[in-house]
Chain A
Amino acid sequence: MGKGRRLRVMVAKPGLDGHDRGARIIARAFRDGGFEVVYTGLHQTPEEIVEAAIQEDVDMIGLSSLAGAHKYLFPRTVELLKERGADDIVVCGGGIIPDEDISLLKDAGIKEIFTPGTPLDAIVEWVRENVKPR
């Protein structure tokens, strides 16, 4: 058996947004950072994402949204994790998120928001600092 905890993260695309190039690039950056990355594919409900995250025993869920429904989808994911007693899983988000929404999302329990232009290295570094294998 391979020894030691390895960070497991999930990259998920909630809602009807059909663009996952960004999510795929993030997934790749996480892989190159040495994490195990579970990718869910497009058009996921928060319920599906949370269930998958629990089955996969991930340490973090990264939500990507470019279609404007983040104010519902992101907090709903956090809420469902709480309901399932799995709120030790860190949630962060990225995509097209207006600045004025960020504090609202953080208040709802999303730990960090990454907007366009954030260097990949900075995101990987943030995860390393802030997410520990549970």
Chain B
Amino acid sequence: MEAMKKIAEKVVAGDIRTVARLIRDIDDGIPEVREILKALYPYTGRAYVIGITGAPGVGKSTLVDQMVNRLRKKEKTVGVLAVDPTSPFSGGAILGDRVRMQRHSMDQGVFIRSLATRGHFGGLTQSTRSSIDVLDAMGKDYILVETVGVGQDEVDVVKTAHTTLIMVIPGMGDDIQAIKAGILEVGDVFVINKADREGTDKTVSDLRLMIDMDQEKYRNGAWKPPIVKAQAVFDQGVEEILDEIQKHRDFLTASLGGLDVRRNQEKVRQELTDMVKNRLIEEVLTQITETGEFEKAVQDIVGGDIDPYTACDNLVLPKVGMSPE
């Protein structure tokens, strides 16, 4: 317990090695981190979290790099979590987002960490959220979370942010169609990057059309997402993006009556639901695997002795204090 408190103190003091190791422990699912995270919680809720998502190659890492640069000029400290996919075949991953951000590696006000999606049971959100807490407790003013916006997991990750940027590039009409089915709803600011390319205006009007479909929502006071044209590689449009993020932040603060945006009921409810879900899966699955009950059930189903619905009842219910019918 004393050792845990010591680690927590080092994180709050901004010790880089401790922070780096703690994020590793979170990612590797080391059970002891829970105690440290508990001790860190009182120090969280201060950072502003920005999610950046979009298809591979739209320029997320480049934009993050430019945003870090500008935030540093405003004397803000920044943490970056860059999530890349794990290969489902080998379990390995190439984490290359850092390539675009390496100019900040010597800056003590910036902490950059690459994360792999791994084979989490939907636990990516959980471990990313915990890593955000660590960077928050470490005292970073802004935390930028970058993910490839393809799967539900990634969408959930960006949903944990206060402001979510969705990045697209011109000439990917079908791409916008794909966005429609699920992540359009989570976008607070839309960025059209590489805006020197042909088709930019068409992409703007396509997006505007989709955003405008929710007129009723806006009349009832919902945030209407702005569209920003940018060329991140030339640092163009980046200040405007930061301005829009600030406007969204002001909007959130005002609509929540000036309350802490991180601790609003809706977010806490979502976070706790995910946490309970993951914890249950982890505990129950570990138990039934270790006792061999799981494997036995598999064999029984294969052998035709039992149906999977009954087997599932038998496995899960006793673990949560209920008895199967």
A residues apposed to B, CB below 8 Å: 1-6, 8, 27-28, 30-41, 44, 47-48, 51-52, 54-57, 84-86, 133
Q: Find out whether the CB atom of B92 lies under 8 angstroms from the CB atom of A34.
A: yes
Q: Does B183 contact A (CB under 8 A)?
A: no
Identify A55's interface contact among B89, B96, B100, B105, CB under 8 A: B105
Residue numbers in A under 8 Å from B112 (CB-CB)? 52, 55
What are 12 residue pairs bridging A and B, where the CB atoms are less than 8 Å apart in the complex? A1-B28, A1-B29, A1-B127, A3-B29, A5-B28, A6-B116, A32-B92, A34-B92, A35-B92, A40-B99, A56-B114, A57-B21
CB distance from B123 to the nearest CB of A (A): 5
Q: Evaluate contact between A54 and B16: CB separation under 8 angstroms.
A: yes
Q: In the complex, A4 Cα to B99 Cα: how many Å?
A: 27
Contacts of B92 in A (CB 8 A): 30-37
Q: A2-B28, A41-B96, A57-B20 are in contact. List 16 more A-B contacts (CB 8 A).
A: A1-B26, A32-B92, A36-B86, A36-B92, A37-B92, A39-B94, A39-B95, A40-B99, A51-B105, A52-B102, A52-B112, A54-B17, A54-B20, A55-B105, A56-B114, A84-B17
- 10 closest A-B pairs by CB: A1-B29, A41-B99, A31-B92, A57-B20, A2-B118, A57-B24, A3-B29, A34-B91, A34-B92, A48-B105
- A86 and B94: CB pair below 8 A? no
Say if the beta carbon of B126 comes within 8 Å of chain A: yes
Please tell me if the beta carbons of A38 and B95 are within 8 angstroms of each other in the complex: yes
Taking CB atoms, residues of chain A closer than 8 Å to B94 are 27-28, 31, 37, 39
Chain B residue contacts of A52, Cβ below 8 A? 98, 102, 105, 112
- Residue interface mask B80-97, A partner, CB < 8 A = 1: 000000110111111110
B113 A31 Cβ-Cβ under 8 A? no
CB pair B102–A32 under 8 Å, yes or no, is no
Residue of A nearest to B28 (CB): A5
Asked if A41 and B102 make an inter-chain contact with CB atoms under 8 angstroms apart, the answer reads yes
> CA separation between A28 and B27, bound complex, in Å?
22
Given known pairs A6-B28, A52-B98, A57-B21, the reply for A31 and B16 (CB within 8 Å) is: no
Q: Is the CB of B98 within 8 A of A2?
A: no
A94 to chain B, nearest CB (A): 17
- What size tier do the contact residues of chain B reach? 35 or more
Contact B114 A32 (CB under 8 A): no
Q: Is the CB of B119 within 8 A of A40?
A: no
The answer to whether B181 has its CB under 8 Å from any CB of chain A is: no
**B190 proximal to A (CB < 8 A):** no
Residues of A within 8 A of B116 (CB): 6, 36
Indicate if the CB atoms of A2 and B102 lie closer than 8 Å.
no
- Please report the C-alpha to C-alpha distance between residue A17 and residue B207 in the assembled complex, in whole angstroms: 43
Task: Write out, one digit per residue, whether chain B residues 278-303 have a CB within 8 A of any chain A CB (1) or not (0).
Answer: 10001000000000000000000000
Asked if B93 and A31 sit within 8 Å, CB to CB, the answer is yes
- A87 to B225 Cα, complex, angstroms: 48
Question: Are A51 and B29 in contact, CB atoms less than 8 angstroms apart?
Answer: no
Interfacial residues of chain B within 96-140, with CB under 8 A of chain A in the complex: 96, 98-100, 102, 105-106, 111-114, 116, 118-120, 123, 126-127
* A37 and B93 form a contact (CB under 8 A): yes
